[in-house]
Every structure is written in structure tokens, then in C-alpha cells.
Amino acid sequence: MKNITRWKSKIFPANTKILFTVQDLVNYSGLSRATFYRNYIDKEDFLEKLMNDLIDGLLPLLKGLLPNIRTNWRAIFPYPL
């Protein structure tokens, strides 16, 4: 556990900067910077909204799995605990 914590602190330090720019996003998407800034304040706002959308999409899927996990958890997680 200590090694994992040390590894995470090296990979994701508290002052981690996001390693892409708004220009990278608009180049990739083909949208204009004006369109980006019409919808997002900055790249951090974009990432926050993206993560919220992903979580909102995953929660119903996870809730649907819960009954199966309780009755058949070995099929979902076949490794010994």
C-alpha cells in the first residue's frame, strides 16, 4: 500500500498541470475557440463537465449491476479476496 501511495504521488503530484491546451482541444474537435469558450470557462471547466457526464452515464450502469454483484460476485470478480 505504501508503494502505491508513493507511486501515485509521483505520477499525480498535488500541483499536476493538465497536459493539453485549449488549442489542442479545438484542433482535435474541429471547433473554433469561440465555440469552446461559449460552452466552457477554461480547460479545467471542460474536464469537470466531461467527468460529470461520464459519471452520470456510469451510475445507472453500476446500479443495474448491484443486484447481480450481490448474488453472483464471483462471476464479476473471480479473484480471491
Between these two residues, 3 and 59, which has the higher pLDDT value? 59
The whole-number pLDDT of residue 31 equals 92
CA distance 28 to 69: 39
Its pTM stands at 0.58
33-80 per-position pLDDT tens digit: 999 999 999 988 998 999 888 888 887 777 776 665 555 656 666 665
9-39 per-position pLDDT tens digit: 666 555 556 778 899 999 999 999 999 999 9
Give the per-residue SS3 of the chain: CHHHHHHHHHHCCCCCCCCCCHHHHHHHHCCCHHHHHHHCCCHHHHHHHHHHHHHHHHHHHHHHHHHHHHHHHHHHCCCCC
The whole-number pLDDT of residue 6 equals 64
The whole-number pLDDT of residue 60 equals 79
**Amino acid at position 47, single letter:** L
Domain definitions of the chain by residue range = 2-76
